[in-house]
Amino acid sequence: QAEALDSKQIRIKLVLLGDSGVGKSCILLRFVRGQFDPSSKVTVGASFLSQTISLQDSTNVKFEIWDTAGQERYASLAPLYYRGAAAAVVVYDITNPETFLKAQFWVKELQKHGNPDIVMALVGNKADLENEREVSHAEAQAYAKSNGMFFIETSAKTSENVNQLFEIAKRLPR
Ligand code: GTP
Ligand code: MG
């Protein structure tokens, strides 16, 4: 197929950061396998997965994804994974304001110590739990905007906006 031969290939190193329990591993499982695990186990250290998607312009994007562990005891490992990353996805849980504060901590850390060209996305996960919402869409969107970040609310459970999140690839320099 001519289209396949002509298509451009790019690789994107992406890191997932955020408090324990916000759903980073579930978002990744949804994106890579189309599945949801309600009894997902906490990540120990970090885990690595890759996934290739095709953009509308037929560019193939291979994501090389580090899923970091959100538990405090692993916080000092994070730089190993975000250094050299082209994209960082900072996740919080819309039902838990503490996780939104933790997300802001990671944004500051990335601004201080990450690759200066890093593309950052702020993700409010568990959007299916609308009736338990404690972080407003407007507040998070304003925070993301003031920090030059892409913003989206997702649900790993229902799959809402999970593929759209990875369209962050379109915002990266080719
Ligand atoms: P660490 O590995 O400790 O950093 O946590 P994590 O961010 O990887 O969390 P994980 O993906 O393991 O999900 C934690 C819990 O949240 C699990 O019980 C999931 O089933 C649940 N969960 C994840 N995503 C969603 C979602 O979109 N909606 C709902 N309702 N629950 C979710
Ligand atoms: Mg995890």
Could you write out the three-class secondary structure of the chain?
Answer: CHHHHHCCEEEEEEEEEECCCCCHHHHHHHHHHCCCCCCCCCCCCEEEEEEEEECCCCCEEEEEEEEECCCHHHHHHHHHHHCCCCEEEEEEECCCHHHHHHHHHHHHHHHHHCCCCCEEEEEEECCCCHHHCCCCHHHHHHHHHHCCCEEEECCCCCCCCHHHHHHHHHHCCC
pLDDT in tens, the chain (174 residues): 445 556 788 999 999 999 999 999 999 999 999 999 999 999 999 999 999 998 888 889 999 999 999 999 999 999 999 998 999 999 999 999 999 999 999 999 999 999 999 999 999 999 999 999 999 999 999 999 999 999 999 999 999 999 999 987 777 766
Q: What is the ipTM of this complex?
A: 0.99
Name every protein residue with a CB atom under 6 angstroms from any ligand 1 atom.
18, 20-26, 38, 40, 42-43, 69-71, 125-126, 128-129, 155-157
- Of all atoms in ligand 1, which is nearest to the CA of residue 127? 27
Residue 99 alpha carbon to ligand 2 centre in Å:
14
* Predicted local distance difference test score (pLDDT) of residue 5: 57
Relative to the alpha carbon of 131, which ligand is closest? 1
